[in-house]
A = this chain, B = another copy of it.
Amino acid sequence: IFFDTSPQAVRLYLLYNHLFMQTLVYVFIIINLALALFEDPAVVPLPIWATSTIEIICLSAFTVRMVHYAKVIPRDEFWKDPKNICIIVIVTLSFIDLTIYGALKATGYFAIRWSRVLRPLLLVNVTEGRQENLKLRRAFRSIRNALPQILYVFLLFMFSVLVFSLMALKLFGKRGLLTIDGSPYFADYLDIVFDLYVLVSTANSPDVMMPAYNYSFFTIFFILYIVINTYTFMSFFLAVVYNNYKKYLKEEVRQLVKARRFKMCRAFSLLQETWGEGGEPVVTQAKWNHLIKLVKPNISIAHQELLWSVLDDQNKGHIGKFAFVQLADLLSIQVITVKSQPHPIQICFPSMYSSSVSRFIRYVVHHRMFVYVYDLIILVNAVFIGLDEENPLVSNAEWGFLALYMLEIILKLYATEPRAFFARHHFWNWFDIIIIVSALFGTIINSALKHSGGYTSRQILDIVFILRVLRLIRLVDSIKRFRAIINTLIKIGPTILTFSQLIVVVYYIFAMVGMELFKGKVQFFEPNSTSPDQEYCGNPLLKGTTFAKLNYCKNNFNNVVSSFIVLLELTVVNQCGFTAVTHVSARIFFVLFHIVVVIIIINIFVAFILEAFLVEYTVDKSDLQKKIEELELNVQQDGVDTGLVDAMTMNWIASRRSRTVDGLLQRMFETDLRPEGFNEEEEPENIKKKHVNI
């Protein structure tokens, strides 16, 4: 690929890749998405000219960005990428829609903002090289790849539903049975298909079979249906999604590792020199150190030496190609450097810090019983939290507990060197301090407010309560078995973020469609309102329905926030009272939502958790991690041997966790990645694209 290397072009390129510009694009995307809050039907209504102006600004920003990108990369590269074409189409359509909508509204006609459905697709298609976005695209690609297989299972599943429905029609249709509403039971074929489809989501579980069951022992029909469709086919969907997810992920990681190794081989051939006896080409330690300094400017010398000693395990002063290529994997292992320095108090008041009382305190704090005692305190605290707040004894006890927790933090700070205590990997220390200190402030503000004016702020009290309860989570960390599960949970955290993005994209699209279909059909009245419409959610069609009876009026599509909440409820249990207020064909909306979210997205989520959990439980540590841990052990043992634990100046802890999800993935498939060697010849396909982005 030919790049223009004139200073002007390079400046343009650097400007394009500047973090500020990238962030700006995301800000505009978020503003564009958030417009749904202010557009009709709105949470906070704004006039049309205001929202339109903001949208025009956003769309212009995207246009400018695209033009900028087109200038930066060669023309044919630009048009070859479907992402760019997608963005251009979305922006153009949005402009057209905005114009039509504005014109129709100005002349008083009815108009639909249909282009809002396209907005979240910008989030998917904008590739600013951020890792988060790459993951989102990866999730989408993995869905796209699984689609054909899912389709086959889905068709068979639908065939099974259709055959069962036909059987139900023949068996129950002519029997004159009535549902609980008094309408004929299983008399219309399409109704049956829908009812049986909903049965798969278990939403209408016993209701749909009760008339048949009351009539006679026809339940065997439903038992068969549930076993085949609800359990077997739903497991099939999971199996297909899981299988594809695994396969595709493996392929992606393989490509990534291949590209990385290829680049490392290139680097090696640049740096190599032939060692002594005309043998293999090698890289010397000096050159290697120089390279590391370039790649990671803020690496500590100790860390650098550790890495070298892992690679050059025979202390030859140079490494071969095989060891050199491992560098990238090595850098992805998180190595925590703990400098065990003397405690500041020890420096200021050496005699006091080494007195027998002080030493006893430090001994106690580091003792296992200290943890147990505080676990017990937390348990007692849990009981007190559950008791009635109004009781003066309970509210006073809270001060006692706060004091105890503060004491714990102070003692720990006294016994541990502050920099070590606040090290980045000590998650629970940070957790403790934030929770306790905020609770302390909250409680003080709350009681100050109470004493001054007798007024209690509900918001502050809520926060204080939540902080108190969160304190209990600490208990989990004390039990080793739980820690493994918690670690999996924490590791899954970032991926849950990716999934929430995915969910937002899908929810946003469905919310936009849902709002156009159902807005204003269901009204919510404040509980203390006296309107007679309250009983049936302001829509006479809902009179006497279970939807109104169960007080579901706030489950509506009247604005984007409540739409999201309704969609969440539909994800958990697919209830569709909305078909009562519009046409029966609105069911298509709910069935589509069920297919997309429950059958595909939730299964991908389950597949990810399944895989992550299995890896955590079954994959061994990689060779490099093992080597580092061995070395670490040696260093620590050296310290013990010379009785210098306290004075030891350097201590490495090789974290059991790989730094990134990619590292985890690589570990997942390490056995499969081994065989393919370090051949420089075949250049992976996606490297070309990488050149452009980097």
B-binding residues in A (CB < 8 A): 152-153, 155-156, 159, 163, 166-167, 169-171, 174, 180, 189, 202, 205-207, 210, 213-215, 217, 219, 223, 226-227, 230-232, 235-236, 238-240, 242-243, 382, 385-386, 389, 462, 465-466, 468-469, 472-473, 475-476, 481-482, 485-486, 488-489, 492, 496, 524, 527, 549-552, 554-555, 561, 565, 568-569, 572-573, 575, 602, 605-606, 609-610, 613-614, 617-618
Contacts and interface: CB of A to CB of B under 8 A. Distances in A.
Contacts of A205: 569, 572-573, 575
Contact of A226 (B155, B227, B462, B572): B572
B206 A466 contact: no
Contact of A550 (B207, B575, B618): B207
Name the residue in A469, A472, A605 with the highest tally of chain B Cβ atoms < 10 Å from its Cβ.
Answer: A469
A554 B214 contact: yes
Contacts of A236: 485, 488, 609, 613
A281 B233 CA distance: 52
A137 to B, nearest CB: 23
Contacts of A462: 170-171
Contacts of A572: 202, 205-206, 226, 230
Given A214-B554, A240-B613, 15 more contacts: A152-B485, A156-B486, A166-B472, A167-B466, A170-B462, A174-B389, A207-B550, A214-B524, A215-B527, A235-B605, A235-B609, A236-B613, A239-B614, A242-B614, A243-B618
B238 A606 contact: yes
A542 to B, nearest CB: 15
B163 A473 contact: yes
Contacts of A232: 489, 492, 496, 609
B386 A227 contact: no
A206 B473 CA distance: 27
A550 B210 contact: yes
Contacts of A217: 561
A354 B549 CA distance: 76
Contacts of A466: 167, 170-171
In order of increasing CB-CB distance, the 8 nearest A-B pairs are A239-B613, A170-B465, A235-B609, A205-B573, A167-B469, A205-B572, A235-B606, A206-B569
B206 A482 contact: no
A488 B239 CA distance: 12
A468 B170 contact: yes
A167 B469 CA distance: 6
Given A171-B465, A476-B156, A550 B180 contact: yes
Q: How many copies does the complex hold?
A: 2
Contact of A485 (B153, B242, B489, B609): B153
Nearest to A179: B551
A262 to B, nearest CB: 28
A569 B485 CA distance: 32
Contacts of A210: 550-552, 554-555
Contacts of A489: 232
Contact of A235 (B219, B469, B610): B610
Contact of A575 (B206, B238, B551): B206
B223 A617 contact: no
Contacts of A609: 232, 235-236, 239
A219 B565 contact: yes
A602 B163 CA distance: 25
Contacts of A230: 572
A504 to B, nearest CB: 13
13 contacts: A152-B481, A153-B485, A159-B475, A159-B476, A163-B469, A166-B382, A170-B462, A174-B389, A180-B550, A202-B572, A206-B572, A232-B609, A242-B610
A183 to B, nearest CB: 14
A672 B51 CA distance: 63
Contacts of A223: 565, 568
Contacts of A488: 236
Nearest to A201: B202
A613 B496 CA distance: 27
A606 B496 CA distance: 23
Contacts of A153: 485
Nearest to A178: B527
Contacts of A482: 152, 155-156
Contacts of A155: 482
B243 A614 contact: yes
Nearest to A464: B170
Contacts of A614: 239, 242-243
Nearest to A492: B232
B573 A206 contact: yes
